[in-house]
Structure 1
């Protein structure tokens, strides 16, 4: 990075921090801090939902996947219209009616306090690992590009995001998310244009080379459950995105920050749908990079190992883009990561205040006390996230395993929500037994390969199907028990 790139990058970081902090006066109460002041434009909430879908992981991984193989990952994005429509019809009206800052109030209303604790704890654990993972990846990227110390990058990034998200509350998070979403889209489009018009034989050469190497394929359409076929990725995407829309505090808080029910439904629908074409742009970047480098006489030595697909985009940013554009692209990567981290900080603090402090420590806490809890919990969450990110530098494999397990266990969250929506009785017994069975299924599928060998039945299914089977087990077991207990169980009145 030369001086111009550094100027562009630091102007972005400083500008976002100052812009987010400028909402301090609008976030002085716990209600405004967690749900806003009912004055946030619909387009801002829409872009914030889109930015929450995109992290630095997808910003780098999607081009890497397309470079290595094909557009199989697009099947995940194609699940979004299905998940978005279900969210608009069922999830958004449900949470707007409950009118709570927490997504997990409904769980207690439906099944009791244990369900609220279980689901909110799953959420908090996964968010901590999410913060740590993204901070680590941002530091890894910048370290590879400019050689800065990773610990310094992690601490600096974590502090910047925590400060503006704490000062400005959900309003700052939504507005900065919207700006960051625009920046990452602009960065991706500029990158595509640069590649196309720098091909030796013109833009058409990208499509010629890609077609010759089957780079636009969507993967196998077989019915195999052991490989990431188109159908496996599509079904996985439906379940993951239903979980995002239906039980993830990050999304539910955005429904509540919308001005009206109509605006909330519109933002949920469009915010998710925007991700579909933009993910296609990310995949096209990977395909274009394959054509760009394979149109040369010699492939750069750093990219001769096809397994290093995730490094191809950073390599291109550093070595091919002109001064200033490199800074913009690095800012785009940080935009994707920072929007996700700021969301996790604010939403996790909201869950701690609403689901724990106000429930079990001080039910009559004043607004001043509530703000103190939000600030302290945000600070603690940011520190833990920074520590996890630093730990990943040396013990990444162990933390990768925990990140995988924590993500898989969150499948129980969606199963409970679906059971609550479609079971007509209170069904507390069915929900509890369903969760226990679902966890056993998840553990069986996750650990079968380690405990019983790769040829065991549990290990024969692709890992993407773990959330599918775990969620289905919770719902089906709980629903069947509700049918058998219909005569003795109380009817749930929504």
Structure 2
């Protein structure tokens, strides 16, 4: 569920759990807990910190890829993307093109470095490449961003479950958090991976059923024609306009940078990739994961088109049947399958997606906190104590998520903070890692201050934009929406207002698709400039550089050695000539 949910899902609230829904829900939770118990108590009693955080490094690519996909596909995608396609068009479909670049860049530039280093926290790379100050700042920002994101995941799942069962949202928050904390803390990363796989199969199957049922109900040809007529496939605009989200450049380039930052330069992703046995397996893992990720995105977008086909003559937003984007898909599920058990299973699918996202990120954050902040403060402790510290961190993070979720119930301010922090964080972090792996002469000053300028730039762009949106002064124009066949209204609703009410807000019209690209670009440019003027005392170890950069350096060294040899030969010839002249 997306971060802007703040009200009960009125559509789902029309559906009450039946006995079979409760059975299915309880079985799902029981299996998740059983996996944690198996890996925490039965499979191996003496668990080491490395095994707890990284597994045994003998996992296969496909299971790990499914787990990573489950981590990144929460309700944000399952509920938000179809609603986005319904209202604004299918720009996410251009992500298929982006994914080709994402896979190539990831496999050849980033993954070989992280896999060769085999580090528990990817932010430890920044200390090895630059200095402790850079690592500490980036790690701290990552933790802050996650601490505001994960409670929203919990709240969204609890809200959906509460609307269906009738129990209070606070009670559902406690249930979701306690279950997740238990199996994540006792089972470690292996339990997280296998519960992710189990939960992925649930929510993917549920959404596939909804998707197929929708296509069957509306008709594939009808969906295609309605989508074309409404302009929702007008996404191949080649104008270089950063304010237009349905634009090839902003979508392809923007999503490429965004997905590399979100999916790859990410602790939860790299931590799981490092559980496989070889670099080849790691590359296959990336390929499988990105394929699954973009496939689910495409299904969600097409589902949005299917929903538009059904409501093309009676928009539920205009008639106030639906008030928030996150309510659209549940409303549609109730509409086409309200008399079946599908709505209840649909709710369980949303809970599964939330649990997989929560467990993976809590486990990853615990590793970063211990490795980057606590390890040096409490040296010389036993392996068992380290494991217990990691488990306590998981529990503490889970309790934090629970408490902040209670606050979200009564406040929307934290939602705005989370959305802003995510936008501010991702671009500069991608920029600083790129400086490290691709540019050997970039020094610690260039990386640190480049990232700081990147953070400030996106902060000054994203915060006012989010504020103006919350005040209604910045409005994104949806595609045409009609109510001409509704009983409630009898007119066509086609927004004609400009994107913003005042020209002074022009810069804040830039689509969020571009935020990561802008943040990364500013970080790269400033970091390179500062490093050029402050000079680099020595080149970093080859292991800290991408294979692409190592290859270039090797060619330069060979060329320099060849040039040096030629100079020596020339000097010898000159000396011989001078000697002959003297003798003569």
Normalised TM-score (structure 2): 0.78
The answer to whether the Cα contact below 8 Å between 1:426 and 1:490 also exists between their aligned partners in 2 is: no
Partner of 2:363: 346
Partner of 1:328: 345
Q: 1:77 to 1:203 in 2, by over 3 A?
A: closer
Q: CA RMSD of the aligned region, Å? A: 2.5
The answer to whether structure 1 residue 407 and structure 2 residue 422 are counterparts is: yes
The answer to whether the Cα contact below 8 Å between 1:84 and 1:245 also exists between their aligned partners in 2 is: no
Partner of 1:492: 540
The answer to whether the Cα contact below 8 Å between 1:126 and 1:403 also exists between their aligned partners in 2 is: yes
Quick check: 454-463 or 156-165, which moved more?
454-463
Q: 1:301 to 1:352 in 2, by over 3 A?
A: closer
Deviations 1:64-111, CA, capped at 9 Å, x for gaps: 112223212233454222112211112111111111111111100011
SS in 1 for 2:411: helix
For 2:194, which of 175, 185, 191 is the aligned residue? Answer: 175
Aligned ranges 1:89-108 → 2 under 5 Å? 89-108=108-127
The answer to whether structure 1 residue 481 and structure 2 residue 498 are counterparts is: no
Q: CA deviation at 1:263?
A: 0.9
Partner of 2:457: 441
Q: 1:402 to 1:413 in 2, by over 3 A?
A: same
Q: CA deviation at 1:456?
A: 5.0
Between the aligned partners of 1:168 and 1:252, the Cα distance in structure 2 is 19
Partner of 1:155: 174
The answer to whether structure 1 residue 455 and structure 2 residue 504 are counterparts is: yes
The answer to whether structure 1 residue 471 and structure 2 residue 486 are counterparts is: no
Between the aligned partners of 2:28 and 2:54, the Cα distance in structure 1 is 26
Q: 1:147 to 1:106 in 2, by over 3 A?
A: same
For 1:421, which of 431, 437, 441 is the aligned residue? Answer: 437
For 1:314, which of 317, 322, 330 is the aligned residue? Answer: 330
Between the aligned partners of 2:448 and 2:282, the Cα distance in structure 1 is 31
Partner of 2:405: 389
User: Tell me, which stretches of 5 or more residues in structure 2 are unaligned?
Assistant: 1-16, 469-501, 543-584
Between the aligned partners of 1:278 and 1:16, the Cα distance in structure 2 is 23
Between the aligned partners of 2:216 and 2:51, the Cα distance in structure 1 is 47
Partner of 1:12: 28
Q: CA deviation at 1:492?
A: 1.6
Normalised TM-score (structure 1): 0.91
SS in 1 for 2:119: coil
Q: CA deviation at 1:457?
A: 6.1
Quick check: 317-326 or 33-42, which moved more?
317-326
Task: Give the number of the structure whose residues are more often helix, by fraction.
Answer: 1
Partner of 2:289: 271
SS in 2 for 1:37: coil
Between the aligned partners of 1:426 and 1:72, the Cα distance in structure 2 is 36
Between the aligned partners of 2:517 and 2:317, the Cα distance in structure 1 is 41
Partner of 1:116: 135
Q: How many residues of Structure 1 are paired with residues of Structure 2 in the alignment?
A: 487
Deviations 1:332-372, CA, capped at 9 Å, x for gaps: 2122211110011100111111111112x123221111111
The answer to whether the Cα contact below 8 Å between 1:77 and 1:275 also exists between their aligned partners in 2 is: no
For 1:286, which of 280, 301, 304 is the aligned residue? Answer: 304
Q: CA deviation at 1:177?
A: 1.2
Q: 1:271 to 1:22 in 2, by over 3 A?
A: same
The answer to whether the Cα contact below 8 Å between 2:35 and 2:187 also exists between their aligned partners in 1 is: no
Quick check: 91-100 or 308-317, which moved more?
308-317
Q: 1:217 to 1:139 in 2, by over 3 A?
A: farther
Between the aligned partners of 1:207 and 1:460, the Cα distance in structure 2 is 30
For 1:228, which of 205, 228, 245 is the aligned residue? Answer: 245
The answer to whether the Cα contact below 8 Å between 1:246 and 1:414 also exists between their aligned partners in 2 is: no
User: Tell me, which stretches of 5 or more residues in structure 1 are unaligned?
Assistant: none
SS in 2 for 1:38: coil
The answer to whether the Cα contact below 8 Å between 1:107 and 1:417 also exists between their aligned partners in 2 is: yes
The answer to whether the Cα contact below 8 Å between 1:49 and 1:268 also exists between their aligned partners in 2 is: no
Deviations 1:85-139, CA, capped at 9 Å, x for gaps: 2111121111111111111111000111011111111111111112111111112
SS in 2 for 1:257: coil
Between the aligned partners of 2:238 and 2:25, the Cα distance in structure 1 is 43
